[in-house]
Amino acid sequence: MHLFKEKQWLLALLIASGIMFLILLGNLPLRDWDEGTYAIVAREIYRYGNWIYPTLQGEPFILKPPLMQWLIALCYQIGGISEFTTRFPGAVLTSLGVPLLYLVGRLVFNQSLPALFTALVYLTMLPVVRHGRLAMLDGITISFLLLLLFCLLKAKEDKKYALGAGFCLGLITLTKGILVLVLGGIAGIFLLVNRQLFLLKNPYLWLGMLLGNAPAIAWYVAQWQHYGNTFLAVHFQDQSFNRLGQAVEGHSGPPWYYLIELLKYSFPWLLFLPGGLYLALKKRQTSWGSLILVGTIIYLGTISIMGTKLPWYIIPVYPFLALAVGANLHEIWQRNQFKSLILTLFTAIIAIASLGGCAYFIIAEPQPILIIMSVVLTISMGVVAWLMKKSDRNFILALFSGMYLVLLLFVSSQSWIWELNEAFRVKPVAELIRQHVSPGTQIYTSFAYNRPSLDFYSDCKVTTANLEVLRQMLEKKSYLLLDQDTLPKINLSNSKIKGEAQGFTLIDSTY
Q: What is the pLDDT of residue 247?
A: 59
pLDDT over 90 at 295, yes or no: yes
| Three-class SS state of 464 | strand
Q: Which CATH architecture has domain 423-508?
A: 3-Layer(aba) Sandwich (3.40)
With beta carbons less than 8 A apart as the criterion, state whether 130 and 173 touch.
no
CA distance 317 to 379: 30
| Three-class SS state of 482 | strand
Task: Kindly calculate the radius of gyration of the chain based on its CA atoms and give it in whole angstroms.
Answer: 25
With beta carbons less than 8 A apart as the criterion, state whether 375 and 358 touch.
yes
Strand duo 479-483 + 496-501: pairing: unpaired
Exposed/middle/buried for 84, CB within 10 Å: 0-12, 13-18, 19+? middle
CA distance 121 to 102: 11
More confident: 336 or 15: 15
Q: What is the pLDDT of residue 244?
A: 66
Tell me the average pLDDT across 420-435.
93
CB atoms within 10 A of CB 446: 22
Q: Which amino acid is at 506?
A: L
Sequence length of the chain is 511
pLDDT bracket for residue 357 (50, 70, 90): confident
pLDDT bracket for residue 250 (50, 70, 90): low
Q: What is the pLDDT of residue 4?
A: 55
pLDDT tens, residue by residue, 112-141: 999 999 999 999 999 999 999 999 999 999
CA distance 205 to 166: 7
Percent of the chain scored above 90 by pLDDT? Answer: 70
More confident: 246 or 103: 103
Task: Give phi and psi for 25, each to the nearest 5.
Answer: -65, -30
pLDDT tens, residue by residue, 51-66: 999 999 989 999 899 9
Give CA torsion, residues 483, 487, 490, 491, to 10 deg.
Answer: 140
From start to end of 51-159, where are the E strands?
Answer: 55-56, 59-60
More confident: 511 or 388: 388
pLDDT over 80 at 240, yes or no: no
pLDDT over 90 at 41, yes or no: yes
Tell me the average pLDDT across 245-272.
83
Q: What is the pLDDT of residue 439?
A: 92
With beta carbons less than 8 A apart as the criterion, state whether 116 and 130 touch.
no
pLDDT over 60 at 1, yes or no: no
CA distance 477 to 494: 10
DSSP string, 290-330: HHHHHHHHHHHHHHHHSS---GGGGGGGHHHHHHHHHHHHH
Helices 112-123, 2-22: inter-axial angle, 10-degree rounding: 0
pLDDT bracket for residue 2 (50, 70, 90): low
Angstrom distances, CA of residue 368 to CA of 166, 352, 359, 376, 384: 48, 19, 12, 12, 24
pLDDT tens, residue by residue, 261-289: 999 899 899 999 999 999 999 999 999 99
Give CA torsion, residues 127, 132, 138, 141, to 10 deg.
Answer: 130
List b or e across 120-144, with b for residues whose CB sees 16 or more CB atoms inside 10 angstroms: bbbbbbbbbbbbbbbbbbbbbbbbb
Tell me the average pLDDT across 431-455.
93
Tell me the average pLDDT across 432-458.
93
Q: What is the pLDDT of residue 254?
A: 87
Q: What is the pLDDT of residue 242?
A: 66
Residue 506, beta-bridge partner list: 481, 499
pLDDT bracket for residue 43 (50, 70, 90): very high
pTM: 0.94
Terminus-to-terminus CA distance in the chain, angstroms?
77
Q: What is the pLDDT of residue 353?
A: 86
Strand duo 442-445 + 461-464: pairing: parallel
Q: What is the pLDDT of residue 3?
A: 57
- Mean pLDDT value across the chain: 91
For the chain, domain boundaries: 2-329, 336-417, 423-508
